[in-house]
């Protein structure tokens, strides 16, 4: 399974915010006294066609930037594929049944067999987080050969642009490993107990296609992850990515950053972190404002 599926889940972990934001996935980043303008675009790490409903100005600004920054750099992800595969498995040869009572595991095993068929036995050795990723990917359409983030990076490579990652594969894997297996197991059990998973994912994809971050975040808020897991998957990663994006822009580069949409809003989101660093941030097409 591709690392971008991990990124899809990380991007839509529980995230609370109170201030509504404009319906825009594309944001302009400027600093007073600098002629350079950079952009950040909220992506959905999916191959579903609804993830590719780009705003009219998105590729116009993309093509005029010097550096394209993703959460991960595609070539590094490919190099790290063996490490990624190993990280998906439970440590020390453990099996999924050790994380549940006998009654719970009977429910889990039956649900996985129903949803995954012949793949179900493999899942008994996987960390629950990655089983959820697999189930999520199966609920979405595979309209494109690649997810949106990879498609943007491939376009950048074709144009001879510099492509960077704002995180490393090891850092993303580390964020997942910080979530106790017992918490992951609870979340998987809750997911398997849900009966409206397809309708929820469809609604989320439709909200994204409408560039409605407010509706998207409301749909995707969940109570399954504790606060410390939320911190590992979003808050700390937001700080890391904002700092590295700031470093690129401070070096005089015009950067187009493409990261999961849920990393953008909120008091601890990347947009606010950039404002805290002295940038003006506004939806592209609107006047920049602090």
The pLDDT of 245-271, averaged and rounded, is 92
Confidence check: pLDDT of 5 > 70: no
* Band of residue 141 on the pLDDT scale cut at 50, 70, 90: confident
pLDDT at 10: 46
pLDDT at 229: 67
CA 110/CA 143 separation, integer angstroms? 29
CA angle 97, 103, 107 (to 5 degrees): 75
pLDDT at 199: 62
Mean pLDDT of the chain: 85
As a whole number of Å, the end-to-end CA separation of the chain is 40
The pLDDT of 167-184, averaged and rounded, is 91
In this prediction, what percent of the chain has a pLDDT beyond 70?
85
* Band of residue 124 on the pLDDT scale cut at 50, 70, 90: very high
Task: State the alpha helices, DSSP H only, in the chain.
Answer: 3-11, 58-62, 74-79, 81-87, 102-116, 120-123, 128-139, 148-158, 169-177, 181-193, 197-209, 213-220, 227-230, 236-250, 270-276
The pLDDT of 2-13, averaged and rounded, is 44
Comparing 231 with 127, the larger pLDDT belongs to 127
Confidence check: pLDDT of 200 > 60: yes
pLDDT at 232: 74
pTM: 0.85
Each residue's pLDDT tens digit, 236-252 = 999 999 999 999 999 98
Pairing of strands 280-283, 255-260: unpaired
Tokens of 14: 């529980």
Each residue's pLDDT tens digit, 27-59 = 999 987 677 899 999 998 889 998 998 877 899
pLDDT at 84: 81
The pLDDT of 111-129, averaged and rounded, is 93
Tokens of 102: 């006998």
Confidence check: pLDDT of 222 > 70: no
Comparing 55 with 168, the larger pLDDT belongs to 168
pLDDT at 77: 84
The pLDDT of 87-112, averaged and rounded, is 95
Confidence check: pLDDT of 227 > 80: no
Residue 96 dihedral angles phi and psi, to the nearest 5°: -60, -30
CB 62 within 8 A of CB 258: no
pLDDT at 140: 84
């Amino acid at each position: 399974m591709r690392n971008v599926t991990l990124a899809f889940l990380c991007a839509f972990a529980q995230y609370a915010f109170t201030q509504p934001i404009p319906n825009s996935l594309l944001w302009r980043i400027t600093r007073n006294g600098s002629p350079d303008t950079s952009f950040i675009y909220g992506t959905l790490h999916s191959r579903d066609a609804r993830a590719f409903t780009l705003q009219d100005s998105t590729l116009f600004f993309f093509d005029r930037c010097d550096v394209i920054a993703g959460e991960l750099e595609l070539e590094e992800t490919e190099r790290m594929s063996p490490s990624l595969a190993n990280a998906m498995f439970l440590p020390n040869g453990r099996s999924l049944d050790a994380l549940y009572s006998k009654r719970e595991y009977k429910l889990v095993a039956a649900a996985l067999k129903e949803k995954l068929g012949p793949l179900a036995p493999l899942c008994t050795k996987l960390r629950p987080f990655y089983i959820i990723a697999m189930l999520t990917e199966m609920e979405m359409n595979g309209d494109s050969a690649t997810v949106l983030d990879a498609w943007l990076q491939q376009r950048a490579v074709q144009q001879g642009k510099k492509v960077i990652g704002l995180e490393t594969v090891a850092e993303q894997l580390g964020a997942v490993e910080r979530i106790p297996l017992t918490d992951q197991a609870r979340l998987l059990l809750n997911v398997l107990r849900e009966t409206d998973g397809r309708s929820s994912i469809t609604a989320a994809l439709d909200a994204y296609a409408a560039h409605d971050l407010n509706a998207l975040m409301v749909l995707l808020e969940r109570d399954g992850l504790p606060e410390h897991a939320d911190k590992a998957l979003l808050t700390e990663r937001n700080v890391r990515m904002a700092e590295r994006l700031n470093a690129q822009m401070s070096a005089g580069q015009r950067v187009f950053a493409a990261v999961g949409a849920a990393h953008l809003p909120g008091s601890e989101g990347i947009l606010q972190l950039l404002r805290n660093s002295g940038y003006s941030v506004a939806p592209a097409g609107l006047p920049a404002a602090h």
